[in-house]
Structure 1
């Protein structure tokens, strides 16, 4: 058998990263497997967005927050694999989980924490002929930087939280913002919608979809957009500099379990479990968006509590006599030397 780990965490988003940190805190030999090339999960879909709702953390750009999560996850030197997709999980005769990845490798673990969130996430593309030609110029499904939108006319297609959050981020940057949404009412958080409604630079076009893209002379960028208002059958033509399409994401969650390890699902996707991170299968725990239970907090901050609970449950699963919870960091012996080093650094400064 290859190297055996106490816990293998599947998914490198916030829940998986904090699970990795906390399992190290609990003296567990830890492996993290992430399918994407980068760690950070959905946070990296919005690198230029400000995160306000992490406890005790001042407002911070998403990419910086992800960087801090990654650094924290590496505190206790876990084994981390990226660009590695888990295809199959089963148990062998020794009650050890055998995890098979897309390259044919097998990984062995006493317990598993599923933190694969929305699975492998790909944005839903604009279903208009030739739209893909403009993805390298001014048609965007994610926004890596807000600089290109300075003093520009921007069309945001979508009315959910993702679309409206982007529109709010652009309020002090873009010259004009058009929000086009296929339904008759925006579905985003009310406070964000109100912020847009209070701005004179925002135009709302409800019951409206993009019908056609008109290129510039060089055929390199979208110059105008033909919109269709479905409630009046009216066709509108708008000149734009950029389009942000936020129509949600397609999820690839093609991970399979052996028949004796099939987990109970809610809505054919989420793992049914408990607030302590337990699933319907012994030894398999879950944290973050993938886990469903009564009282679930579907926010970024909820992922951290899920992670702690899942790790504590995994710890007592493989070591029944272990403490049910980890010692707080201010008294934990694993931090004593690190604290001394940090204090020395502060005194030098």
Structure 2
């Protein structure tokens, strides 16, 4: 294992490669800081990778875009200032060295030396919550889906969606125009999606069955052919025939290593931060879904603001005389040469 003297020292190390982490890396480059991103998954993107075809409407200045498209854009932007990218590692330990710098140790034993840290791990390592019905696993290779990777495979199919959160609502709306029918089953009366999307789903889908839960799967071969649902109050049961079943019962997440780092934690083990996105540990900042504070905007747009704010605070932590924030790109010296490169590119003919 490398000793501290063998490790390259970074100004800021970002733990997490989702939207908050990616934008933090870009903005850190604007602040002229040497930057590293460490991501648990084999690719950047965070939780959005679970919903690559989900259409995202609520990022400022961005027309409706797929999750895959948004991550592609955020990644391209993050790479502008060439941060170091480390994949397939989960940070297990955070230690303060005698010179005040920080040493991060991953599950592989690799260590990372940094002056500041930005925590951007979302709700933790996400895994889809599996259906707890005997025999469900044998259908996962055919027509039982926990995420929608490709809309086209559902064309002209009779689909049942079990779940009532954002993703279940969005999938129902995305699939309804191309499917033979979409039926949504949810164990509660209220849905967790944005109000307009929920209304659209209720108006367009074949059937919305609330206060029902999925209790049985039926199939004579390798595929699910039908499900039994049960009313949570009356006990009434129904059988629904289907061509494809989509289950969205939420995520399980893992933040357990972080719980031993000495962070002040609030509800759901979210680190508590101040207006500067500073945690109670000096030099450790946080951004995105991971944190809580008064007025927190739980949208991707809010995560991007968190990232920029955390970077500004890290810069001032390292250099108290530094400007409180980067100059806007139109007046920022770092973009002058990049603007010249753009101007020299050939104009596409329409």
Match of 1:152 in 2: 157
Once residues 21 and 98 of structure 1 are traced to their aligned partners in structure 2, the CA distance between those partners, rounded to angstroms, is 23
CA contact (8 A) 2:55 2:170 kept: no
Once residues 136 and 175 of structure 1 are traced to their aligned partners in structure 2, the CA distance between those partners, rounded to angstroms, is 22
Indicate the SS of the match to 1:120: coil
Match of 1:242 in 2: 244
CA contact (8 A) 1:196 1:202 kept: no
User: Could you tell me how far 1:46 is from its partner in structure 2?
Assistant: 1.3
User: Could you tell me how far 1:184 is from its partner in structure 2?
Assistant: 3.2
Greater per-residue strand proportion: 1
Match of 1:11 in 2: 16
Alignment TM-score, normalising by the size of structure 1: 0.95
User: Could you tell me how far 1:301 is from its partner in structure 2?
Assistant: 0.5
Name segments (4+ residues, structure 1) moved above 4 Å: 346-349
Alignment of 1:1-349 (within 5 A): 1=5, 2-199=7-204, 201-216=205-220, 219-256=221-258, 262-347=262-347
CA contact (8 A) 2:19 2:74 kept: yes
CA contact (8 A) 1:177 1:203 kept: yes
Structure 2: state its 5+ residue gaps.
Answer: none
Structure 1: state its 5+ residue gaps.
Answer: none
Computed over aligned residues only, the root mean square deviation of the Cα atoms, in angstroms, reads 1.4
Q: Across the two proteins, how many residue pairs are aligned to each other?
A: 344
Once residues 88 and 268 of structure 1 are traced to their aligned partners in structure 2, the CA distance between those partners, rounded to angstroms, is 20
Once residues 332 and 151 of structure 1 are traced to their aligned partners in structure 2, the CA distance between those partners, rounded to angstroms, is 52
Indicate the SS of the match to 1:196: helix
CA contact (8 A) 1:274 1:292 kept: no
Alignment TM-score, normalising by the size of structure 2: 0.95
Once residues 143 and 76 of structure 2 are traced to their aligned partners in structure 1, the CA distance between those partners, rounded to angstroms, is 33
Q: Which whole-Å deviations, capped at 9, do the CAs of 1:26-85 have from their partners, x for residues lacking one? A: 110111000011101122221112222211112211101101111111111111001111
User: Could you tell me how far 1:348 is from its partner in structure 2?
Assistant: 7.3
User: Could you tell me how far 1:347 is from its partner in structure 2?
Assistant: 4.5
